Amino acid sequence: MNVAILGAGNVAWHLSRAFIMSGYPVRQIWNRTPDKAADLSFEIGGNSISDLSQIKDEIDLVVITVSDSAIEKVASLLKLKEHQILVHTSGSTSIDILKPYAKDVGVIYPLQTFTKGIALDFSTIPFFIEGVDSRLEDKLLRFMGTVVPKVIAANSDQRMKLHISAVFACNFTNHFYSIAEEVLKEAGLEFEHLKPLILETANKILKTYPKNAQTGPARRNDVNTMDKHLEVLSTHPDKEEIYASISQHIVKMYQKKAEDLK
């Protein structure tokens, strides 16, 4: 299968390598900034194109990796042949957005955070696949199954919830790391001190459910400790608000769990 990738950011950088390593040449790269397309195509040995009308007939799979807000705009500029499959890689964008622009459309969504230049082990990354019909979905599942070992069929509603879950588990957690770093800096301490704790917490949920791994004052409903923390944070109302809101949510979750067990 010959591939064209539209976009030259983090996802494009990683996916292009995954396809090539699996024996699928990435023949063409397009980006709205032509220099970025040229840079990526030089790295992977493909050809950059400056206009979407330059996609060749030999291309079997066109992969849109641009930002969610730009997917439909890019798709609308395409004039694909009947045999060419058009997919996007977004977690929170419906497959429906592509339907006006090609006969065979789908989604290839990798559940991972990508940073250009930092290698990933693709054998551990789940890819969630959707096709416009069962025929195409099976084709995409078989194809991606030759690229990565973990492929799962998921419709647009399921994928949206996957993306929301990823925001909670990854993006929000990372933001909390940033808040923790600010609190430590104010005390003249380094974020480095938290890394063993972070690793142990992450390791725990590899062995049990997150609810079972929860610890801390809110889990114990330790009001005295939480009040002390809130007093310290009172000079930073934004952090105080976040601490209070999350703590309250944890308390309620475990109160409900205890009631359910009665």
Ordered by where they begin, the domains of the chain are 3-154 (3.40.50.720), 160-261 (1.10.1040.20)
- CA 24/CA 211 separation, integer angstroms: 42
CB neighbourhood size of 253 (10 A): 14
H or E element that contains 108: strand 104-110
User: Which pLDDT tens digit goes with each residue over 45-82?
Assistant: 999 999 999 999 999 999 999 999 999 999 999 999 99
Task: Report the chain's mean pLDDT, rounded to a whole number.
Answer: 95
**pLDDT level of residue 258 (50, 70, 90 thresholds):** low
Backbone angles phi, psi at 132, to 5 degrees: -65, -25
pLDDT exceeding 90 applies to what percent of the chain?
A: 92
Greatest pairwise CA separation for the chain in angstroms: 69
* Phi and psi torsions of 4, nearest 5°: -120, 135
Q: What is the pTM of this model?
A: 0.87
pLDDT given at position 259: 64
As a whole number of angstroms, the distance between CA 46 and CA 38 comes to: 9
pLDDT tens, 176-223?
999 999 999 999 999 999 999 999 999 999 999 999 999 999 999 999
What is the rounded distance in angstroms from the CA atom of residue 46 to the CA atom of residue 109?
Answer: 23
Q: How far apart are CA 195 and CA 51, in angstroms?
A: 46
